[in-house]
Amino acid sequence: MWIVVINPVAGQGKGATVGAQVTGLLTSKGESYTLVTAASADLLSISLINVLRTQKCRGVLCVGGDGLVHLVLQIAVKEKVPVAIFPAGTGNDFARAIGVAHHPIPELLEHILTTDPVPTDLGLVDSEWFGAILSSGFDSVVNEKANTMEWPSGPAKYNAAILLELPRFKPIKYEITLDNHSVTTEAMLIAVGNGSSYGGGMKVCAEANLHDGLFDVVILRPVSKFEFLKVFPKVYSGSHLSHPAIDIYRSRTVVLNSSATAYADGERIGQLPVRAECVKDAALVWSL
């Protein structure tokens, strides 16, 4: 028995299309499944918990974007159930991290049906799991702005919010406590990476490893607005990491203290301070 969790409105309706494809393929292969979907995140969580506690399943097949993956991880890790991701959102950054973001659905399902899931690290911030990146600073300001915008849609919304917020953004003072030392600095942004990317493929923590038990902590110290715009495109290749204003640390635990807010996997965590821990092999996932 599989549990298929679908967010039908993910990716402007792509969730419904991919969900129908996944369930159709399962039926054609004679695989039994229970479908879980709901009108809200709270109702979906309740439904998923009820199903997991009343039915024995091989795994949760998650059809949606990073928001749905984030929600499912909170439950699946606690219930010790493996998770497979069929990316159908606008960002799909945890799917990118585990290597399933660009594979055809039939091939991905066949892989899931014929192989075992593997352990992967997750971040834990104030009792909330995240798969990709915890961030604070300019990108959090951009997220706050993007969440209020009705147009444009998709990844273009994030880029539009950057252009609106950058002219008035000022560096923020942070106190950062790592495993072995502390850092006090002004920064444009702080990214605490379990996975390598956020925002739909921006490889801000390009060298992060899901299996080393450590976060990559990337700090961008203050630069001019012109320099920021010049360097920003390099984030899609990860080549920004060589910039002299960027510091990189590796640490199992990170405490961020500031007047700023934090986001993880695109979900609002809230006001700092926060404490994050990289938990080795916290989840079982099907990866490629």
* pLDDT at 97 (0 to 100): 95
Per-domain boundaries in the chain: 2-116, 130-285
Regarding the domain delimited by 130-285, which CATH topology (the fold level of the hierarchy) does it fall under?
Answer: Tumour Suppressor Smad4 (2.60.200)
Lowest mean pLDDT among 71-85, 103-117, 143-157, 159-173: 143-157
Mean residue pLDDT of the chain comes to 94
* pLDDT at 178 (0 to 100): 98
Indicate the helix (H) or strand (E) that contains 226.
Answer: helix 225-231
Which CATH code fits 2-116?
3.40.50.10330
Q: Which of 189-210 are b and which e, b meaning 16 or more Cβ less than 10 Å from the residue's Cβ?
A: bbbbbbbbbbbbebbbbbebbb
3-state secondary structure 12-64: HHHHHHHHHHHHHHHHHCCCCEEEECCCCHHHHHHHHHHHHHHCCCCEEEEEE
* pLDDT at 287 (0 to 100): 96
Full-model pTM: 0.93
The 10s digit of each residue's pLDDT in 202-221 is 999 999 999 999 999 999 99
**Is there a common fold for 2-116 and 130-285?**
no
